């Protein structure tokens, strides 16, 4: 019986590019600027960088180290890696979250990826530059917001063709394997998206004052809208700001998903994890703060003013910006570049969501590549099909996003850092991280990983639950309000939404099936672990 798959990154830059590619996604160019603008630049950036140092870096190093430890035993899935390292009956179930989270996120992320591809093709076709173009109506029709099943179509203004194309591209590359698939895509896509981002950035920063009748709507004021500090002292007392900043660091760095554990498991035993982890995180930050933070909000501000910038993350990317490109000189070209950039960012991230599943199916059930790709393809096609069909108000997408990409990720990240800091032990964990390291881990990170990070994660998760689930607005006295979030009222009570309930049922069904797969896999792994030594 062979569990070892003999796949590995081609060189030291392979893993860094792949992890950076996984991290650099839609959140860098849409979510980050929207959040920073909403919470007032200064206070948000302080909370953001504190979260980066206290949660981001420790979790990156923990996941990179756990992954490389797993490679010594020949395992690549989170479940296999944790089972092999810890040899505890519960470890494989913690690792199972790594499969559940990414598979469910992929099921809606690929739909958003299809939006990006569809918008890029529509930009090429000149759809945004027709006289009667209404970005809100176009997005509503394209994504099928009006009613369930409305987006099921295969024309230029429908999502179907682009979803199939995005899905097929993902599975083509994942079938080619770690080096010829994921690494190959990241090697070209990551530099390409940085170049595209810089071209658009130069265009945005040279927009000046496009409408002389509105002198206030200029680039400098657009930058100020995002970066002016506001009342930092008051802002930092707002728990929602800390929640938003910590969540952004999570989504942005792809931590707490199990992706990094899987990617790092394709390293060689003495490959560096400390500097590689930090480099991948830093590359993500450059794209997020250096490109995303300077590009999106100022572009929207100079054409639409402050009122145009306010809105949801999805609204910013797919309603506000297409409208901006209709006003911009050379807007068609820049719309093509922008949505091309978003598509490249999305595909490098979505590929990373498939590899943990492939790894689990191959090493857990002994499937060959073709079979594992087919099984995962069918599974994710069901999920994506569900999100695609139940498009009304994006309820299915938002429900899965909330319970998986918010709640489950926090739980998984907290468990990973507790495993690294307490179960394995921070001394042993950091000693393992230092093997082959090209830089020292400063001593301060020992207590941060052991004490500060779990406490900080726990506090943020507590705030998240009381704000987003229970509905407390963090005010006292007369201002105190408790309004149940729609994520809860959609599930329980008179206004329960059948699509939201079905979405949660989908999460539970996949979770149950994964726990069964992991239980079966553990028998196979136990035989392998007793027969071989690392």
Partner 1 sequence: MSIGGWINLILSLGFVLGLFGWCIWRLLYARSAPQEEHLAHIELVHDEKKRAKKR
Interface residue list for partner 1 (CB under 8 A): 12-13, 16, 41-42, 45, 49, 220-221, 223-224, 227-229, 270, 272, 275-276, 278-279, 282-283, 285-286, 288-290, 293, 427-428, 431, 434-440
488 alpha-carbon distance from chain centroid: 23
Beta bridge partners of 482: 472
- To 5 degrees, how large is the angle CA 250–CA 246–CA 182? 15
User: To the nearest whole angstrom, how small is the minimum distance from the Cβ of residue 256 to partner 1?
Assistant: 21
Residue with smaller CB distance to partner 1, 435 or 519 = 435
Half-sphere exposure of 322 (CA within 13 A, CB side): 27
Nearest-approach distance from CB 245 to partner 1, in angstroms? 12
Beta bridge partners of 472: 482
* 132: number of Cβ within 10 Å: 5
C-alpha 114 chain-centroid distance: 16
Tokens found for residue 220: 């400098």
Residue of 22, 80, 63, 66 whose CA lies nearest to 358: 80
Nearest approach, Cβ of residue 282 and partner 1 (Å): 4
Q: How far is the CB of 270 from partner 1 (least distance, A)?
A: 8
Q: Which residue has the tokens 């002389």?
A: 212
Nearer to partner 1, 227 or 464 (CB): 227
Tell me whether residue 369 or residue 435 sits nearer to partner 1 (CB atom).
435
How is residue 159 annotated by DSSP?
S
Rounded to a whole number of angstroms, the minimum distance from the CB of residue 23 to partner 1 is 13
Beta carbon nearer to partner 1, 36 or 506: 36
Measured from the CB atom, is 176 or 435 closer to partner 1?
Answer: 435
Nearest approach in angstroms of CB 294 to partner 1 is 8
**Of 106, 104, 110, nearest in space to 408 by CA:** 104
Q: Whole-number minimum distance, CB 49 to partner 1, in Å? A: 7
Rounded distance, CA 513 to CA 475, Å? 41
Contact 183, 16 (CB under 8 A): no
Closer of 158 and 288 to partner 1 (Cβ): 288
147 or 228: CB nearest partner 1: 228
**Nearer residue to partner 1 within complex by CB, 209 or 221:** 221
Helix count and strand count (H, E) for the chain = 27, 0
**Residue 40 or 258 with smaller CB distance to partner 1:** 40
Chain Cα centroid distance, residue 162: 20
Shortest distance in whole angstroms from residue 352 CB to partner 1: 20
What are the CA-CA distances from residue 163 to residues 126, 160, 206, 285, 518 (Å)? 20, 5, 35, 29, 30
Distance of alpha carbon 227 from the chain centroid: 24
Are 143 and 159 within 8 A, CB to CB? yes
Looking at the Cβ atoms of 195 and 371, the one nearer to partner 1 is: 195
Smallest Cα–Cα separation from 285: which of 4, 527, 57? 57
With a CB cutoff of 8 Å and minimum separation 6, the contacts of 462 are none
Q: Rounded to the nearest whole angstrom, what is the least distance from the CB of residue 311 to partner 1 in the complex?
A: 22
The minimum distance between CB 183 and partner 1, in angstroms, equals 17
Q: Say how far apart CA 473 and CA 471 lie, in whole Å.
A: 6
């Amino acid at each position: 019986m062979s569990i070892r798959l003999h796949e590995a990154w081609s060189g030291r830059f392979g893993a860094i590019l792949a992890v950076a590619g996984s991290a650099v996604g839609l959140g860098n160019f849409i979510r980050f600027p929207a959040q920073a603008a909403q919470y007032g630049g200064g206070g948000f950036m302080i909370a953001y960088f504190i979260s980066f140092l206290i949660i981001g870096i420790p979790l990156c190093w923990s996941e990179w180290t756990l992954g490389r430890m797993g490679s010594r035993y020949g395992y690549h899935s989170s479940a296999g890696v944790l089972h092999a390292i810890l040899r505890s009956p519960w470890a494989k179930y913690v690792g199972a979250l790594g499969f559940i989270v990414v598979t469910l996120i992929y099921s809606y992320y690929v739909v958003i990826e299809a939006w990006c591809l569809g918008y890029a093709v529509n930009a090429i076709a000149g759809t945004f530059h027709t006289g009667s173009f209404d970005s809100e109506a176009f997005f509503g029709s394209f994504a099928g917001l009006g009613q369930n099943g409305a987006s099921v179509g295969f024309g230029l203004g429908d999502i179907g063709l682009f979803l199939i194309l995005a899905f097929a591209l993902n599975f083509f590359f994942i079938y080619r394997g770690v080096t010829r698939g994921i690494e190959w895509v990241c090697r070209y896509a990551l530099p390409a998206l940085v170049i595209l981002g810089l071209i658009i950035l130069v265009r945005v920063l040279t927009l000046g004052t496009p409408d002389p009748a509105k002198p206030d709507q200029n680039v400098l004021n657009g930058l100020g809208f995002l970066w002016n500090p506001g009342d930092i002292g008051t802002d930092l007392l707002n728990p929602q700001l800390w929640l938003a900043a910590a969540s952004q660091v999570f989504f942005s760095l792809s931590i707490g998903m199990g992706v990094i554990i899987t990617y790092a498991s394709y390293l060689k035993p003495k490959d560096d994890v400390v500097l590689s982890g930090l480099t991948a995180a830093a590359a993500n930050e450059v794209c997020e703060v250096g490109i995303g933070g300077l590009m999106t909000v100022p572009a929207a501000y100079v054409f639409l003013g402050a009122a145009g910038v306010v809105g949801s993350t999805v609204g910013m990317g797919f309603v506000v910006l297409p409208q901006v490109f209709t006003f911009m000189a050379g807007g068609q070209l820049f719309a093509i570049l922008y949505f091309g950039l978003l598509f490249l960012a999305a595909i490098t991230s979505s590929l990373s969501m498939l590899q943990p599943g492939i790894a689990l199916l191959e090493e857990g059930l002994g499937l060959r590549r073709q079979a594992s790709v087919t099984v995962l393809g069918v599974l994710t096609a069901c999920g994506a099909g569900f999100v695609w069909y139940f498009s009304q108000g994006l309820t299915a997408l938002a429900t899965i996003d909330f319970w998986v990409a918010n709640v489950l990720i926090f739980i998984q990240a907290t468990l990973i850092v507790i495993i690294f800091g307490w179960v394995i032990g921070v001394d042993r964990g950091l000693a393992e991280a230092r093997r082959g390291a090209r830089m020292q881990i400063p001593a301060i990170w020992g207590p941060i990983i052991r004490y500060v990070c779990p406490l900080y994660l726990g506090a943020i998760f507590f705030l998240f639950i009381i704000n987003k689930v229970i509905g407390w607005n963090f005010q006292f006295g007369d201002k105190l309000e408790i309004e149940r979030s729609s994520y809860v009222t959609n599930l329980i009570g008179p206004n329960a939404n059948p699509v939201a309930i079905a979405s949660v049922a989908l999460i539970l069904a996949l979770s149950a099936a994964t726990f069964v797969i992991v239980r079966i896999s553990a028998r196979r792994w136990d035989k392998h672990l007793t027969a071989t030594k690392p």
